[in-house]
Structure 1
Amino acid sequence: MLKILFGLLLVINGGLYAFEHGYLNSLIPPSHDPLRLKQQLNPDLLKLVPLDKEKAEAGKAEKVAAVEPEKIPQTVEKPAEKPVEKPVEVLACTEIGNFDAAEAKNFEAKLTSLALGERLSRRQIQENARFIVYIPPLANKETADKKGGELKRLGVDDFFVITEHTALQWGISLGIFKSEEAARNHLAALNQKGVRSAKVGPHHLSAPKVAFQFRRIDAATKANLDKIRTTFPRQEARACT
């Protein structure tokens, strides 16, 4: 039994000695790379091909994109701004007057082209002018109209034939004034133009006059209204009371 154990120890020691001194290399292939490459078939034909630089960068970018998606700035479109419209200037209320019945009818007829509708209203005014510059009553309407033509040839346009059934019917009014001084100054100006038959006299309570009120009209309508008013020189425009 001891002989067998001794023999096994000798075999083991012999095997270790042979392994350490490389006697067993032909039986056991080496595990390190240089010797393994030498044992490969045609090792000289093996070449390390470097990865293309652009592909490498692209691959790197793909990896980065996979980890963190590219942040694309989003532009928020602002809604288109509407142009600011300039507010239209509107007059609250203006008044033109005072007309007698005949003048009021003529004036109102000229206003139809403006299509004012509810923006136009009338009101009666009872006025008591003190002094009148006038030409005394003539025989009839034809004679009064003829006298009116003579006044126009003298350059007098601000007058009207009195048609009401009063003491001055078929006379010609050349202006009504609140003071005698203003009436006489106007008479003097008429005399310089060649009007000789005019006089100054008291003007008693007259028939109601008509004033026209215009509400919420714009600048363009006001300009057209002023053009119409110029054909009635004795009438004035004023703010509504």
Structure 2
Amino acid sequence: MKWLVALVVVLNLVVAMYGSLKQRPPLDVHAQEVSPGQVRLLPANWKPDASAPKAQASAPAASAPAAQPLHETKPAASAAKSQVKPAAKPEASKLAAKAADKPQDKAAQDKAKATPDKTVADKKPEALACYRWSGLNDSLLARVKGGVPQLKLKSGQMQEESKEESKGSGRFWVYYPPLATQSETKTLSAEMRDKGFDNYIVSNDEFKGNLSLGLFGKEDAAKTLVARLKAAGYDKAVVKSKDQPAKITALTFKDLDAAQAERLKALQKRLTPGIALKGC
């Protein structure tokens, strides 16, 4: 009987020791059902709190359901990844867009520099006028210059050109060349007077020493006198048109804008209506 009791006691101890030494099977978290309301999605940059290990160490060993919020199930993890990825995509797309736009922006800037502004290209330069006011004698030139300040010209817009021109007086001079000596010329002058040809010896111009026989308003009258002299034996008489040198000035106005051109035309009509402006 004692042996039977001892054997039972030994068997109980062996069973107790076997139960304590036997390893507990691992908990299959994925096999458990989790309520969607208990699932918490963690952000991509989430880090465990430094105080969390202390709190977990001080707390008694909790059952498996209590520790479930710290572990992510496969659906939750996949959902979190799906939410994190779209957040990263806009940044990557922005960087890619910037990298792609840089060459385009540079090309657009180069094209804009190479292409002239349409408004500037379409704007035509203002046409500048040029006029010539010629045939001005000394008196007319003085009058015109008195009105030039009204044109408000800039430096170099007006140029002046003058030249000497022979102005016909409408008269014709008959003269006889001098002889070899002055005494012979005086003798010739006296003979002509005796024959009815009035004359005198020129002494104050380029024709000094010549015999002046008369100044006529018509060329025919002068030629008639020359014919009479030839008939009397004086065949060296000459007919010369008596012209008077005169200074004639021309003014050139260039690079005139519309307002200056209008003022110039008004000035010309007022001062010299008989002398018109000419283009240059």
Alignment TM-score, normalising by the size of structure 2: 0.37
Alignment TM-score, normalising by the size of structure 1: 0.42
More helix by share: 2
With CA pairs under 8 Å and 6+ residues apart, which has the higher RCO, 1 or 2? 1
